[in-house]
Each structure stands twice: as C-alpha cells, then as structure tokens.
C-alpha cells in the first residue's frame, strides 16, 4: 500500500466551488486542507507581517506577490501532518512561478483537479456566497441557504465578494490559468463545475480513486 496520504491540487476560477468540494474531499480522504485564501485571511485578521503585506492586494481582488505566499505554503507542506495524512492544496499554485517553486523543492502531486465553470455563472455565485464564522461552512443565499434561523443570522459576506471585485479576480485568474494547467498536464482532470455540488463531488472522487489505486 501507500506509505503516505494522497497529494491533491484543486484549481478553478473564483467561486468555481473549490472550498465547497474541499470540505467533501477532506471528509472522505482525511487529507489536510490547505486553502491559501483562508491562510491569508487569517494572517490579515491576526495582523501578522504576511497579513500586512497581503491586505491591500486581497481587498482589491489582485493576487498577492508570489514571495508573500510561496514560503508559507512550502513550510506548511513540510509539516508531519501533511506528510502522513496527505494534503489538498486549494488556491495554490495560482501562477507559473508558484508551480515552479513547488517543483524546485521536489513537491509533486497525484492529481490536479480543474473545476470548469463559465464566467457568467461565477458572478452570481460570488454575490450570493455567505460563510458561517462559527463552523467555516460555505452557503449560498439562493442555491444552498441554511435552514437554521440562528445560522442565517450570523452569516458573513467576504469583502472581496462584490461584482466589481470579482471582475478583477477573474482577470487575474484568466491571465494565469493556462500556465498553471500546463504545469500539471500529465496529472490533470477537468470536471464540469456547473453541476450540483454532489454531482461534482462524485466526478472528482472517481478521478481521485482512479489515480490512487
């Protein structure tokens, strides 16, 4: 059998469903979920050096500079829990330089999952998204609202989830996506991300199971 857990990368446009799928993938494979967006937001609210350097970029929808994010990810992947349980990279690598930085230190993955969702669908997903600050669970006011009144009242909206900022985020995504996909062409799987979350998840898990056996 395998000595260590699966090493997975999930990529896709802003609001393509990466976070939603990562919750399901982690529950099934027991991997460590590493979202660079979550890590950066935590750094911003904690007021760390990384957070101070990242804040203005994130607020405007631009990518943070490669040197701000690469070091944190490499350090995190190096930790014992990742080595043992395996990992799921969400939102990284997002540029060619980030992909090259992983390759340079010998970090490779078993599967690169690309969620394909057209831009028109993404804007609606962004503006309706809400997060539960207590559980971290992701909701959508139209597609998946909570049925609990208490949860509904405490939901929060991300400051970069406006129609104006998602345009900037989409621009950054389109400028980099082909270079990133090209770096993983040999292990890439493309999944239609417009289906219902459970259907998307079924497709993803079939692909992961196929490479792990």
In the residue annotation, 2 being an active-site residue is answered as no
Closer by beta carbon to ligand AP5, 68 or else 208? 68
Measured at the alpha carbon of residue 39, what is the angle toward residues 136 and 71, in degrees to the nearest 5? 160
Residue 206 and residue 43: Cα distance in Å, rounded?
35
| Residues 6 or more apart in contact with residue 44 via CB below 8 angstroms | 51, 54, 55, 58
In the residue annotation, 158 being an active-site residue is answered as yes
Whole-number minimum distance, CB 122 to ligand AP5, in Å?
8
In the residue annotation, 169 being an active-site residue is answered as yes
Note the residues at the interface with ligand AP5 (CB under 6 A).
12, 14-20, 36-37, 40, 57-58, 61-64, 69, 91-92, 94, 98, 125, 128-129, 138-140, 143-144, 169, 196-197, 200
Whole-number minimum distance, CB 52 to ligand AP5, in Å?
14
In the residue annotation, 129 being an active-site residue is answered as yes
Buried b / exposed e over 149-169, threshold 16 CB at 10 Å, is eebeeebeeeebbeeebbebb
In the residue annotation, 94 being an active-site residue is answered as yes
Q: Which residues are catalytic?
A: 18, 94, 129, 158, 169
């Amino acid at each position: 059998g395998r000595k260590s857990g699966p090493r997975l990368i999930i990529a896709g446009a802003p609001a393509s469903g990466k976070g939603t799928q990562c919750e399901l993938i982690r529950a099934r494979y027991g991997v460590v979920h590493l979202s660079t967006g979550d890590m950066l937001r935590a750094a911003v609210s904690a007021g760390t050096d990384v957070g101070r350097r990242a804040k203005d970029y994130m607020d405007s929808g631009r990518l943070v500079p490669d040197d701000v994010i690469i070091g944190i990810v490499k350090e995190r992947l190096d930790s014992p829990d990742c080595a043992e349980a395996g990992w799921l990279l969400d939102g990284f690598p997002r540029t060619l330089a980030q992909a090259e930085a992983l390759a340079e230190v010998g970090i490779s993955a078993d599967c690169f999952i690309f969620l394909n969702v057209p831009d028109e669908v993404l804007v609606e997903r962004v503006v309706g998204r809400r997060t539960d600050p207590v559980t971290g669970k992701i909701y959508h006011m139209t597609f998946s609202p909570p049925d609990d009144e208490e949860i509904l009242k405490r939901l929060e909206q991300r400051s970069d989830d406006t129609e104006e900022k998602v345009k900037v985020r989409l621009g950054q995504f389109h400028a980099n996506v082909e270079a990133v996909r090209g770096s993983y062409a040999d292990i890439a799987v493309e999944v239609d991300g417009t289906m219902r979350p459970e259907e998307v998840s079924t497709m993803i898990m079939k692909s992961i199971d196929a490479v792990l056996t």
